[in-house]
Amino acid sequence: MDQCNVRFLPDNLTVQVSSATTILLAAGKAGIQLKSGCGGKGTCGACKVILVSGEVEVESTGNLSREKIDAGVHLACKTKIMGDITVEVPLESRLAEHQVLMGSANGLLSEKEINLLSQYGLTPLARKISVHLPEPSLTENGADWPKLNIELKKHLGEGKIDIPLGVLRQLPDALRVGKWQVTATLVELNDRYELVNVEPGEQVNPPYGLAIDIGTTTVVVYLVNLATGAIIDKQGTYNKQARYGDDVITRIVYAVDAPGNLAEIQAAIIGTINELVDSLCTKYQVKPEEIVGAVAAGNTTMTQLFLGVSPKYVRLEPYIPTMNSVPPLRAADLGLHMNPHGAVLNFPSVASYVGGDIVSGALVTDMSNGDDLILFIDIGTNGEIVLGNRDWMVACACSAGPCFEGGGITFGMRAMPGAIERVEIDAQTFDVTFKVVGGKQPIGICGSGLVDCLAKLREAGIIDRAGNFQKDLQTPRYRQTHEDKEFVLAWAHQTPGDKDIVITENDVKNLIRAKGAIYAGIRSLLRMVSLEVEMIEKIVIAGGFGNYLNVKDSVQIGLLPDLPVEKYDFIGNSSVKGAHLALLSRAAWKEAEELGKKMTYLELSAGNDFMDEFVSALFLPHTDLSLFPTVEG
């Protein structure tokens, strides 16, 4: 059979695929995003599905237990469809309900964002100018474009104006249809203007722009009215590249593995953005041609994949990206659903692991405009950290691993409905209470819950400072299995499944390594500039995980510096907020370009103090308790 029907339950969605397609790819085609941590190698076990009926060819069962195999569980990435089949996709294998961090909750700008915008000034990337040209005659017979150029310069001043061939082709008819009145849409670039559209007559519709955050996991797009600066709406979804792996490394490996893969993975991110743009355009009846500018921010690998530039050397020592800054591009070069002549700006990156998303975040912190020492941290798979003020900035990236996003933890998951996000443990009875995202029954535990959990396990004396479980704990929640020691956070009857949700000693050790890496990164930056933690005026935390973080517990475990809670600030998705700011203000965009150049990158694997700091941080909260006076107390 060449074509097979694949029915997915409980969604009841059917797609047709060629025989020998994997279930993972078929699910993607059906719009069901499966977890695929290892990028389809069959090693992570994240893409489990249950075969209800039909014929398949199993390439590998990975580390599935006999029990699971007997129950019909298959690895979607290693199971080929050989006939019409029906497959059930369990909740825990799906990416679909992940919370996409959209920036401000309601589309309105926060007071801080409004202040920042008024500080830089509202000078959007594109604007419309309506002009009237004198009608030509046999004696006044100059060409169309020079005459329009002169008229536009009366409004713009002396900057050079470029006109692409496609707009040149529109021009003669637009002038004559409009009886010598046209509305020109111009994009303002650093050293020139570009005429991206001409319309006959006087047009009052505003130009539109896009602010785009290209996250490794999720993608967010704001549709912005460039005349007023208002966000029309925002939408977010999964990065379709997730089917090639959860993290940047597996995606790089895929992109460079075979000819055609780079184009495929680039098409996945362009497709993700285009779907969001199409949805916004349909909802607000905006024509894609009316979108004339976009600003995108992403980490270095995401930016290179977005542009179709191989990220091969980002991953190989000495970790060199192809470029730090990208000249303005035209939308048509990338295939974005907007005016083909529209400009696409990409935030500059600093190094292979400190990308445009961090520069965008630093722009939003406003750290480059004040004397106060600010520490900016974006905690994800990589903990990216920037320290500095208006005079200098240093930055580093520490591989914290995927723990805080739920990776490498027995019941770890991202912050989606069903994730335990807060934990309390009674030190006397060891009873556990928890709060679950979406108020549902728990199915796992997300980053903020893990931080809480580690702090509460230590507070209750269940683990020691090195993360070892104490022997002889008098509670049925503590048990030793043949694999590991574990503590029960939720009994099976409290969950929708049939298993207790536990945290194991190995999970605890992984978490300690992750928090140790971030704290060691902070200390390394401080040592680089010979400053102490107490000199930090403000700590700004970005990212999905950071948004739900409990500062007190984070200090308790030694993840964050022991400074008063008032010094902490959470800014959510700073990447898209910076892109929005840069879309609306030429001065902010220039500042972003300067920021990229200004940050000095500290490579933590290059023989500095990081390893010593890391080893010292592998305790709760730290080997040196004087660094955590409130915890010691």
Q: Which residues bind ligand FES (CB under 6 A)?
A: 36-38, 40, 42-47, 62, 75, 77
State the nearest-atom distance from the C-beta of 75 to ligand FES, in Å: 5
State the nearest-atom distance from the C-beta of 87 to ligand FES, in Å: 14
Q: Which of 518, 503, 500, 403 is nearest to 457 (CA)?
A: 503
Q: Which is nearer to ligand FES, 37 or 578 (CB)?
A: 37
Contact in structure between 413 and 382 (CB atoms under 8 Å): no
State the nearest-atom distance from the C-beta of 362 to ligand FES, in Å: 34
In 466-593, DSSP assigns E strands to 478-480, 485-490, 501-504, 538-542, 568-572
State the nearest-atom distance from the C-beta of 78 to ligand FES, in Å: 6
d(CA 3, CA 82): 9
Q: Which is nearer to ligand FES, 74 or 341 (CB)?
A: 74
State the nearest-atom distance from the C-beta of 79 to ligand FES, in Å: 9
State the nearest-atom distance from the C-beta of 85 to ligand FES, in Å: 17
DSSP state of 205: S
Q: Which of 62, 25, 57 is nearest to 42 (CA)?
A: 62
User: For the CA atoms of the chain, what is the radius of gyration?
Assistant: 27
The SS3 assignment for 374 reads strand
Q: Which is nearer to ligand FES, 59 or 426 (CB)?
A: 59
Q: Which is nearer to ligand FES, 27 or 377 (CB)?
A: 27
Residue 318 preceded by cis peptide, ω within 30: yes
DSSP state of 469: B
What contacts 413, CB < 8 A, 6 or more positions away? Answer: 92, 406, 419, 443, 444, 445, 446
Q: Which of 421, 385, 386 is nearest to 404 (CA)?
A: 421
User: What are the Cα distances from residue 315, in Å, to 236, 253, 318, 326, 353?
Assistant: 28, 9, 8, 20, 9
State the nearest-atom distance from the C-beta of 207 to ligand FES, in Å: 42
Instruction: Give the helix ranges, DSSP H, for 48-143.
Output: 66-70, 111-120
State the nearest-atom distance from the C-beta of 573 to ligand FES, in Å: 26
Q: Which is nearer to ligand FES, 39 or 621 (CB)?
A: 39
State the nearest-atom distance from the C-beta of 31 to ligand FES, in Å: 18
Q: Which is nearer to ligand FES, 46 or 186 (CB)?
A: 46
State the nearest-atom distance from the C-beta of 402 to ligand FES, in Å: 13
Q: What single string gives the DSSP state of each residue in 289-347?
A: GGEEEEEEEE-HHHHHHHHT---HHHHSTTT--S-S----EEHHHHT-SS-TT-EEEE-
Contact in structure between 578 and 548 (CB atoms under 8 Å): no
Strand order in the sheet with 192-200: 126-132, 181-188, 192-200, 160-162
Q: Which is nearer to ligand FES, 6 or 187 (CB)?
A: 6
**Which backbone phi and psi does 609 adopt, to 5 degrees?**
-80, 0
Q: Which is nearer to ligand FES, 42 or 621 (CB)?
A: 42
Q: Which is nearer to ligand FES, 39 or 467 (CB)?
A: 39
Q: Which is nearer to ligand FES, 46 or 539 (CB)?
A: 46
**Which backbone phi and psi does 225 adopt, to 5 degrees?**
-80, 110
